[in-house]
Amino acid sequence: MTDHTGQTLAGRYRIESLIGRGGMADVYRGTDTMLERPVAIKLLTDRSDTVLRRFLREAQSMARLNHRNIVAVYDAGQVDGLSYIVMELVHGRTLSQIPSGELTTHAAIRYIIDLLEGLAYAHDQNIIHRDVKPANVMIGDDGTVKIMDFGLSRRTSEMSSETNAGEIVGTIAYLAPERFLGKVADARSDLYSVGVVMYELFAGRVPFKSATDDLVAVIFAHVNDVPPSLRTINRTIHPQVDRIVLKLLEKDADLRYETARELGAELQALIGGPAVAVQPDATGKPSAASVAPRAKSAQPAATNEAVRSALDRTFANSTALNAGYSNTLAGMLAARKRDYPEAIRTYTLALLGFTQSGNELEHAKTAVKYAAMIWQKSSETQRPDRREIDEAVRLMGTALPSLRGRRMLKELEEGERVLYALQRMGLRLR
């Protein structure tokens, strides 16, 4: 990757050292030589039209926002083929980088209140962030909270079911159910993400996670599953905290808090007393006071990094992979309802999306789901469709080697069982 250290942009912004790399942009520490002040310089590394539009939208969105809890944008432009955003330089760590056990309950909720103040201001300007997560919440050395990365933001006037249909952007673990169903997102969608962040702070993990990195399973859980109560994970967590978080994670947006200010006021009332010291409970688990975010050393393994990198590339180049995930979810829901024509249609579209995006693993996992649905359908009818069975068997012929090569043992076992059942049924139909 190109290192731009030492360059000066637009005759003014000197790039001094790399701070971090992302899927579509790198961030450097620099100096505005005209005003003699330190700045952060974000340089676009992916030059596709889709990413360029996102990059421009981030600059435009953040330039409209002037709030102490939002990273300020000073300038943006293009020079010598480089697109850049010049921003306020914040010395500190993201919420995802703070080690486990370092926060008190009071401090953690204080950070959330400040996050909500920034979001409330953005929402007042009709801007929805759409990617609220710990990595986008900067905690300055002085304790100031700064929201970063408005690259996925949208003005409320731009939000519609048409612009959202089939589009899944953001980080899957933190997105609201309506985002996966093609419904219009609003401020309450950001608040759902805040709920996931709070859940992770208090429980040490996100509410919905797949041990096998099955993103479709995570999406399905966001849409259908009720998250475990925080108090089932740690009995010392205050019931009010548990109630607030579960309200934020309601599937129906109408059942969540209406505004960030409403939630912030309730949290402020909750921490009216002094900060609580971090203590383990009787079981040796962190108490509610520890509200520990994921430590930097506990970042997801290489497989998760590869998934995120793949998603970043997809967001940059096409919507094919997002369509694959959306249609797989739709296929799962249709199969549950035994609406087999719809299940076949959406699974077929999902497989096409994964083929177009070159994602062999998701194609293989979805092929297993499709074949299982065909087996379910065929078992419930007196006249199974031989062509459907043959197509499912053909798909499994390509899916199983892919799963076997990646040692996806759970999916491989299920696939082999379904394939055997379909082959036996197919033989009876000959």
pTM (predicted TM-score) = 0.66
Supply the mean pLDDT for the chain: 81
CA atoms within 13 A on the CB side of 399: 29
- pLDDT tens digits, 136-162: 999 999 999 999 887 555 544 444 333
CATH code matching the domain that covers 92-298, chosen among 3.90.550.10, 3.40.50.2300, 1.10.1740.10, 1.10.510.10? 1.10.510.10
Residue 75's Cβ-count burial label (10 Å; 0-12, 13-18, 19+) is middle
N-term to C-term CA, the chain: 57
**Active-site entry in 26, 46, 114, 131:** 131
* Token pair belonging to 209: 């996670």
Query: Residue 355 forms beta bridges with which residues?
Result: none
Average pLDDT over residues 11-33: 90
* Token pair belonging to 184: 């219009």
Alpha-carbon separation of residue 16 from 28, 35, 38, 318, 374 (angstroms): 7, 16, 10, 33, 58
- Sequence ranges of the domains in the chain: 8-88, 92-298, 318-429
Q: CATH fold of 318-429, please?
A: 1.25.40
Beta strands in 220-292 (DSSP E): none
φ/ψ of 78, rounded to 5, equals: -135, 135
Alpha helices in 103-159 (DSSP H): 105-124
Query: Which residue carries 């429980």 as its tokens?
Result: 203
Does the structure show a pLDDT above 70 at 4? Answer: yes
CATH no., domain 8-88: 3.30.200.20
CA distance 30 to 404: 48
- CA-based nearest residue to 351, from 369, 363, 339, 360: 363
Average pLDDT over residues 395-422: 88
Q: Predicted confidence band at 245 (pLDDT cuts at 50, 70, 90)?
A: very high
Which stretch of 40-49, 80-89, 94-103, 289-298 has the lowest confidence by average pLDDT?
289-298
Q: What pLDDT does residue 23 have?
A: 67
Q: What pLDDT does residue 211 have?
A: 66
CA 61 to chain centre: 20
With a pLDDT cut of 90, the percent of the chain lying above it is: 40
| Residue 242 bears catalytic tag | no
- CA-based nearest residue to 147, from 175, 173, 112, 177: 112
- pLDDT tens digits, 280-318: 333 333 333 334 333 333 334 444 444 334 334 433 334
Alpha-carbon separation of residue 350 from 205, 324, 369 (angstroms): 29, 4, 11
